[in-house]
A and B are shown apart, each in its own frame.
Chain A
Amino acid sequence: MKLKKWQVVGFYLINILLVLAFVAPIVWTLMTSLKPTDQILTYPPELLPREITFEHYRTLLTVNGGEFMRYAVNSLIVTSGTILVVMAVSSLAGYAFAYLRFPGINIFFISILATMMVPFQSLLIPLYGFMHRMGLLNSYFGLILIYSTFQLPFCVFMMRNTFSALPASLRESALLDGCTEAQVFTKIYLPLSLPGFATVLVYSFMTSWNELLMALTFNSSAKVQTIQVGLTNYYLSRYRTNWEMITSGSIITMIPVLIVFFILQRYYVRGLTSGAVK
Chain B
Amino acid sequence: MHNLQGVRRFFSKHRTGMMFLTPAVALNLVFFVYPLVRVFQMSFYNWSVLGSNRFLGLGNYERLVNDPLFWKSLSNTVIYTLIVTPGIFLLALALALLLNHKSPLTNVFRTIYFVPVAISFVVASLVWLWIFNELYGILNYVLSSLGFISSRVSWLGSTWNARLSVSAMVIWKTAGFSMMILLAGLQGVPVECYEAANIDGANARQRLLYVTLPIIRPTFVMALMVSLIGSFLAFDHFHVMTQGGPANGTLTIVMYIFRTGFEYFNLGYGSAMSIVLLIILIVLSLIQTRSLQSDTVE
- Residues of A in contact with B (beta carbons under 8 Å apart): 1, 3, 8, 11-12, 14-15, 18-19, 21-23, 25-26, 28-29, 32, 40-45, 88-90, 92-93, 95-96, 100-103, 105, 108, 111-112, 114-119, 121-130, 145-146, 148-150, 152, 156, 180-182, 185, 206, 209-213, 217, 228, 231-232, 235-236, 243, 246-247, 249-250, 253-254, 257-258, 261-262, 265, 269, 272-273, 276-277
Contact = CB atoms under 8 A, between A and B. Distances in A.
List 7 A-B pairs, minimum CB-CB distance, nearest first.
A210-B120, A93-B24, A273-B184, A126-B38, A96-B20, A126-B35, A149-B31
Nearest to B273: A122
B141 A43 contact: yes
8 contacts: A40-B136, A121-B277, A124-B274, A126-B271, A236-B240, A246-B129, A254-B118, A277-B218
B14 interface: yes
A258 B111 CA distance: 11
Contacts of A213: 235-236, 254, 258
A26 B282 CA distance: 36
Contacts of A100: 16-17, 20
B249 interface: no
Contact of B282 (A32, A117, A212, A247): A117
Interface string B124-135: 001111110101
Given A11-B103, A41-B136, A212 B233 contact: no
B123 A250 contact: yes
B258 A124 contact: yes
Interface of B: 13-14, 16-17, 19-21, 23-25, 27-28, 30-36, 38-39, 42, 95, 98, 101, 103, 105, 109, 111-116, 118-123, 126-131, 133, 135-138, 141, 145, 172, 176-177, 180-181, 184-185, 188, 218-219, 222-223, 226, 229, 233, 235-236, 239-240, 243, 254, 257-258, 261-262, 267, 270-271, 274-275, 277-278, 281-282, 285
B28 A277 contact: no
A13 to B, nearest CB: 11
B98 A22 contact: no
Contacts of B42: 125-126, 129
A277 B118 contact: no
Contacts of B95: 18
B136 A45 contact: yes
A197 to B, nearest CB: 16
Contacts, number: 269
A29 B257 contact: no
Contacts of A18: 95, 98, 109, 113
* Max chain B C-beta neighbours (<10 A), residue from A3, A150, A272: A272
A210 B24 contact: no
A122 B275 contact: yes
B254 A105 contact: no
A42 B28 CA distance: 53
A125 B235 contact: no
Contact of B115 (A26, A124, A145): A26
Given A15-B109, A22-B113, A212-B121, A122 B126 contact: no
Contact of A235 (B126, B137, B235, B257): B126
B124 to A, nearest CB: 8
Given A3-B101, A232-B239, A127 B31 contact: yes
Contacts of B129: 235, 246
A89 B27 CA distance: 9
A276 B181 contact: yes
